Amino acid sequence: MKKGKIQLKPRLLSFNVFCILILGTAFYYFQHASGQEVKESNLKYGNNPKQTLDIYTPKNQNGENLPVIIYAHGGGWRGGDKKSVSDKPNFFTENGYAFISINYRLSPEASYREMANDVSTIKWVYDNADNYHFDRTKINLIGHSAGAHLILLVVTNPHYLSNVGLSYKLINSVVDIEGPLDLTDFIKRFGTYKKVFGNDQKVWEKASPITYASNKDLPPTLLIDHGNNGIGKLWGNYYRRFFNDGRFVICCDKYGCNISRRW
């Protein structure tokens, strides 16, 4: 496979369409539609048993390359599984996307850095794009809770993607469903996560996507949260800092909670 310099077109218009698609799921009842997707399970992207992924593609394809959703599950960095996708694959494949749900190593066996390195399985998707008819210019990331934190960390901190020979400019868009941006604030509020990140606040800062918010070339990002006691209320100031150049910030009310749970 011949690889040349990646040329990406402006992404804002396509991101607007993507946002409409995402938000539309708040009103979608996720009725099961058997046979609308093709699934390949437990493909390995590494040597650890946790380093596997599932690929869902539309049953009927027109021969064009498919835009891609890569999904990282939640679970507090200590649990969760790629199988926990509800009807997301069905919804996205019906709308012409390839949907890829990944597993990643978990605490205490893995550090947050190793988890983030696993989320950099974007490299596997990029390298295997020709085999699966993926569109390399339309790779989108979605994460829930801990998974959302990891995808944002991978996108904002250039270390992770550059370590596998890629750039954050490869990412078309990002969707964070209830994922923390500032772990210093988060761990102070929820001390149980010291079991994952330790007691050193300098480590918390390095693990925080907000630390790398000064990069103005980050891909368009959608943040989804439920209101009242959610991260939107807790970290509204961080959201404004993170996206002070006009990127999208969506903090949903109670319906946002339905999005993440039913997804």
Q: Is residue 29 part of a domain?
A: yes
Q: How far apart are CA 29 and CA 254, in angstroms?
A: 16
List, in order, residues 6 or more apart from 71 with CB less than 8 Å away. Answer: 82, 85, 88, 99, 100, 101, 102, 141, 142, 143, 144, 147
Q: Is residue 254 part of a domain?
A: yes
Q: Is residue 3 part of a domain?
A: no
Output the pTM of the full model: 0.81
Q: What is the CATH number of the domain that holds 152?
A: 3.40.50.1820
Q: Give the domain range for residue 92.
A: 12-262
Per-residue pLDDT tens listing for the chain (263 residues): 444 433 444 555 565 555 555 555 444 433 343 445 788 999 999 999 999 999 999 987 778 899 999 999 999 999 999 999 988 999 999 999 999 999 999 999 999 999 999 999 899 999 999 999 999 999 999 999 999 999 999 999 999 999 999 998 899 999 988 899 899 989 999 999 999 999 999 999 999 998 987 776 788 888 877 655 445 444 445 555 555 544 545 555 444 444 433 33
Report strand pairing: 98-102 vs 66-72.
Answer: parallel
Q: Is residue 6 part of a domain?
A: no
Q: Is residue 2 part of a domain?
A: no
Tell me the CB-side half-sphere exposure of residue 217, using CA atoms within 13 A: 7
**DSSP summary character for residue 15:** H
Q: Is residue 230 part of a domain?
A: yes
Q: Is residue 61 part of a domain?
A: yes
Closest to 115 in 3D by CA, of 199, 211, 48, 176: 48
Domain count, the chain: 1
Cis before 158 (ω within 30): no
**Order of strands, edge to edge, in the sheet holding 221-224?**
37-44, 52-58, 98-102, 66-72, 134-144, 171-177, 221-224
